[in-house]
């Protein structure tokens, strides 16, 4: 046993990695239940294929780009052993094996790619989608993850707080989804203003349950230990998700005088998204506020596409983009300075500096993700025809899977 290894922490990180990995099948079911019946299998497949695809890329070169030695001290990208070959089972990251840390971080990259698929569900060819995913995770996810998650990354060094991926996963996927939706253009049904037709609401609720379960590993696992930071993140995650769901139900009642299952699921998801960056920096009261504010903001954000005319099929922009912004910004107000970081938010005696840094980081990540994703989407569509034709869209994306569909 290598000196410094903590077996309890290591066990928690391994369990957390498995929990976060389960979130991608949960997302597949969540998305699959939201689309029309003729697109269910292809949407589920787009999430599952990201598991295999991103895993190979991560251990081929991704881990080195994210957590390798920083190139030139600029905080823009790492460059380590691109084959993961110099890492052994006895090497440690803090008090846990580097293998465990790398596997945990891999699951974040996997679900971020899967999240983007929701913006273009039902109008994307699967082959070009795989090519897009390879290029996107290389040019967008890996650099942003280095900026935020690696201690040498420029956003991390600057003092911006993001405990579990509000910038890297949530805002990044939201802005990438927006860029890809604009690059490919609206679907034929969106142009015809045909309303969504969820194929299976119980599948959506099952997906939410798996996502909520996995989110405890997502947030509390980011502590890399099983102590007070992890339990604070766990508690905050539970409170914010519940607050988001209940707030959405209240909003629906005042608007429409009835509740919806899709609405309750979206509200819970909004709370979980927003608490991701802030879970270990806020107390129970702060988590409650984060969940409430996130549900209110997201309830309006999901309607922006109808006003602005972009076809974000499954509301990746409205839920993950807007929800991520809420969570990152509220750290600047509600960070207590008592658990994961000594830096305090404005409402707990801190200065406005943290809030301004949080907002600046949002703009930096959003602009980079949007611009690079738009260019990647346009190039892949031009070379490989990523967007389905109108006839293919009306026939359903499951036709691409042959006799299995």
In the predicted model, is pLDDT for residue 326 greater than 50? yes
In the predicted model, is pLDDT for residue 149 greater than 70? yes
Domain ranges across the chain = 7-394
Q: Write out the two tokens for 74.
A: 């600029």
Length of the chain, please? Answer: 405
CA atoms within 13 A on the CB side of 1: 7
Q: What is the pLDDT of residues 365-375, one digit of tens each?
A: 999 999 999 99
Q: What is the pLDDT of residues 60-82, one digit of tens each?
A: 999 999 999 999 999 999 997 77
330, 290 contact by CB (below 8 A): yes
Using CA atoms, how far residue 127 sits from 130, 275, 366, 381, in Å, is 5, 34, 27, 11
- Third-level CATH fold of 7-394: Ammonium transporter fold (1.10.3430)
**Mean pLDDT confidence for 150-171:** 97
CA atoms within 13 A on the CB side of 45: 19
In the predicted model, is pLDDT for residue 402 greater than 80? no
304, 119 contact by CB (below 8 A): no
Q: Which of 20, 41, 49, 21 is nearest to 121 (CA)?
A: 41
Q: What is the pLDDT of residues 234-288, one digit of tens each?
A: 999 999 999 999 999 999 999 888 888 889 999 999 999 999 999 999 999 999 9
What local confidence, expressed as pLDDT, does residue 259 receive? 85
What local confidence, expressed as pLDDT, does residue 86 receive? 82
Interatomic CA distance for residues 95 and 171, integer angstroms: 30
Q: What is the pLDDT of residues 376-395, one digit of tens each?
A: 999 999 999 999 989 988 88
Q: What is the mean pLDDT of the chain?
A: 94
**Residues of the chain with pLDDT > 70: what percent?**
99
**Mean pLDDT confidence for 15-38:** 96
Strand, coil or helix: what is 124? strand
**Mean pLDDT confidence for 22-40:** 95
Q: What is the pLDDT of residues 334-359, one digit of tens each?
A: 999 999 999 999 999 999 999 999 99
Is residue 1 very low, low, confident or very high in pLDDT (cuts 50, 70, 90)? low
What local confidence, expressed as pLDDT, does residue 139 receive? 98
Tell the burial category of 56 from Cβ atoms under 10 Å away from its Cβ (0-12, 13-18, 19+). Answer: exposed
What local confidence, expressed as pLDDT, does residue 252 receive? 93
Q: Look-up: residue for tokens 């929800």?
A: 323
162, 148 contact by CB (below 8 A): yes
Q: What is the pLDDT of residues 279-316, one digit of tens each?
A: 999 999 999 999 999 999 999 999 999 999 999 999 99
**Mean pLDDT confidence for 191-209:** 91
4 torsion bin: left (phi>0), alpha (psi -120 to 50), beta (else): left
What is the dihedral sign for C-alpha 158, 161, 165, 168? negative
Give, rounded to a whole angstrom, the gap between the first and last alpha carbons of the chain: 50
Q: Write out the two tokens for 396.
A: 């359903």
Q: Which residues of 250-283 are buried (b: 16+ CB within 10 A; e: fewer)?
A: ebbeeeeeeeeebbbbbbbbbbbbbbbbbbbbbb
The pTM assigned to this predicted structure is 0.95
What local confidence, expressed as pLDDT, does residue 405 receive? 46
């Amino acid at each position: 046993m290598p000196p410094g290894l903590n077996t309890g922490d290591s066990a928690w990180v391994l369990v957390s990695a498995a929990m976060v990995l389960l979130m991608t099948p949960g997302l597949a079911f969540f998305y699959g239940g939201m689309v029309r019946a003729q697109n269910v299998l292809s949407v589920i497949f787009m999430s599952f294929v990201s598991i295999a695809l991103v895993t190979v890329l991560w251990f081929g070169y991704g881990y080195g780009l994210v957590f390798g030695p920083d190139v030139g001290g600029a905080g823009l990208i790492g460059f380590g052993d691109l084959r993961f070959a110099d890492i052994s089972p006895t090497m440690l990251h803090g008090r846990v094996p580097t293998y465990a840390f790398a596997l945990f971080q891999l699951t974040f990259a996997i679900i971020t790619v899967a999240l983007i698929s929701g913006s273009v569900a039902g109008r994307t060819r699967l082959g070009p989608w795989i090519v897009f995913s390879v290029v996107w995770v290389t040019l967008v996810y890996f650099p942003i993850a280095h900026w935020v998650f690696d201690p040498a990354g420029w956003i991390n060094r600057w003092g911006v707080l993001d405990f579990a991926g509000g910038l890297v996963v949530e805002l990044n996927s939201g802005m990438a989804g927006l860029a890809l939706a604009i690059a490919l253009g609206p679907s034929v049904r969106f142009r015809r203003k045909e309303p969504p037709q969820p194929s299976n609401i119980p599948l959506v609720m099952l997906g939410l349950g798996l996502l909520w379960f996995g989110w405890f590993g997502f947030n509390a696992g980011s502590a890399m230990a099983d102590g007070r930071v992890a339990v604070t993140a766990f508690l905050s995650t539970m409170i914010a998700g519940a607050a988001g769901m209940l707030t959405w139900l209240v909003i629906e009642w005042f608007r429409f005088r009835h509740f919806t299952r899709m609405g309750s699921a979206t509200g819970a998801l909004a709370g979980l998204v927003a608490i991701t960056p802030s879970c270990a920096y806020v107390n129970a009261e702060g988590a409650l506020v984060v969940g409430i504010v996130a549900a209110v903001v997201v309830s309006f954000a999901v309607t922006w596409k109808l006003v602005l005319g972009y076809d974000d099929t499954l509301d990746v922009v409205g839920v993950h983009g807007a929800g991520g912004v809420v969570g990152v910004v509220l750290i600047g107000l509600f960070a207590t300075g008592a658990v994961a970081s000594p830096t305090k938010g404005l409402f707990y005696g801190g200065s406005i500096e943290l809030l301004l840094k949080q907002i600046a980081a949002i703009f930096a990540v959003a602009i980079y993700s949007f611009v690079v994703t738009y260019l990647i989407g346009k190039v892949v569509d031009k070379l490989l025809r990523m967007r389905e034709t109108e006839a293919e869209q009306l026939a359903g994306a499951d036709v691409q899977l042959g006799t299995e569909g």
